[in-house]
Amino acid sequence: METLPFEIGETAHALRKAFDRLAVGLGVTRAQWKVLFKLTRKPGLRQVELADLLELEPITLCRIIDRLEEAELVERVRDPEDRRAWRLHVTRKAQPLVDKLQAIGADLVDQAFAGIDSKDIETTRKVLAQARENAGRCAAVNRASNQ
């Protein structure tokens, strides 16, 4: 059991590396495609929210957004509630790229999980969701006891 977190991490790493190899010709870095994916799923995030979700320092995300904005793949829109903040959106120009990235991701999932029974995949999803929930509760209890 003690190696299970390591195995989960190694599996995630192998999937990311495989995706990188498949997406290499599209001209975006891993950091950039992660931003595009997250903004496609959650349009209008503030930069600070996106940095938190991606576990990036705000200055690091700012540089990534600058490059994506220069390529006209992401746009910054002033937050109407806070003029100091920016809301981020994927542009129409980015949609064909996002579609290609999603197709690569779907193909990778098909290949990586080939031969694995769909019931086993669903069980794995449930187990991982429960582990994330448990870990989140553990971290919350630990924070509270440290205060």
Contact (Cβ atoms closer than 8 angstroms) between residue 54 and residue 35? yes
The whole-number pLDDT of residue 139 equals: 67
41 vs 129: CA distance, rounded Å: 19
Give the pLDDT of residue 73: 97
**Side chain identity at 81, as an amino acid letter?**
E
**What is the structure's pLDDT at 24?**
87
d(CA 142, CA 7): 25
User: pTM value?
Assistant: 0.77
What is the reported pLDDT for 106? 95
The answer to whether 62 touches 76, Cβ cutoff 8 Å, is no
The pLDDT of residue 68 is: 97
Segment-wise mean pLDDT, segments of 10 residues, the chain, 147 residues:
89 94 89 94 94 94 96 94 91 96 94 96 95 85 55
Under 8 Å between Cβ of 36 and 25: no
Question: CATH assignment of 4-114?
Answer: 1.10.10.10
Contact 68, 74 (CB under 8 A): yes
What was the pLDDT predicted at 141? 59
Domain parsing of the chain, residue ranges: 4-114, 117-147
